[in-house]
Copies of this chain bind each other. A is one copy, B any other.
Amino acid sequence: MAKGFLLVISGPSGSGKGTVSAALMAKHQDIKFSTSVTTRPPRPSEVDGENYFFRTQAEFERMVEEDQLLEYAFVHTNYYGTPKDFVFSEVEKGEIVLLEIDVQGAMQIKEKYKEAVFIFLLPPTMEELKQRIIGRGTESEEDIKTRFSNAFKELDFVGEYDYFVVNDQVDQAVEDIENIIAAEKLRVKRQKNIKEDMIRKGELD
C-alpha cells in the first residue's frame, strides 16, 4: 500500500491558484481539501472539523507552541493554520490532501515538511498577472501596486518548489496538475514495501 501526499498549490496573488484548485477538486472528488484551524468564530452554516477546526485564541497559540501546525498566519484579526495531525493521518491512509496557499505559507510548510509536493502557479506573462490583479476590481490603485510588487518578489521563491505550472488556460493547468498527481503516485519513496508485496503476491521456489 502506498502513502498519499500533501499537494501544495501556491503562487502569488493573481496566479489563479484558487480557480485552478477549485476546478481540480470539482473533477476529483477523491482529493481531500486540507481543513484549516482558525480562531474566527464559526458562521451559522459552518461545521467544526468540516469547514474549519474552530479553536480559541489560547488553544491556537498552544498549537503553535507545541509545533502542531505546518504553517500559520494572522489575517486581519484572526489566526489561520494547517494542522499537522489532519494532514499526516490522511497521507498515512493513502489520501491526497490539497492545500491552496500563498507563497509565504508554502515556504513555512517547505521548512517543516519537505515530503509535500510543491506546485508554483503563474500566468503566462507579468502583464497578464497584472491584468488579473486589476481584474478583481476590489482593490485601490495603491493595493494593486503592492500586490503586483509582492508577486514580482515572490518569483524568487520558485526555486524552492518542485513543479512550475503556467496557468494560461485553467483546463490545461488542471491537466498538468493531474499529470503531476499521477506521476507522484508512482514515486518509489511513497511505496511502503515493494519487495515484500511482490513476495506475498507470488510463491517462490
Contacts and interface: CB of A to CB of B under 8 A. Distances in A.
B201 A126 contact: yes
Nearest to A204: B126
B202 A188 contact: no
Interface residues of A, number: 39
Interface string A88-120: 000000000000000000000000000000001
B163 A188 contact: yes
A122 B201 CA distance: 13
Contact of A164 (B122, B176, B188): B188
A30 interface: no
Interface of A: 120, 122, 124-130, 148, 152, 155-156, 158-159, 161-165, 176, 179-180, 182-184, 186-188, 191, 194-195, 198-199, 201-205
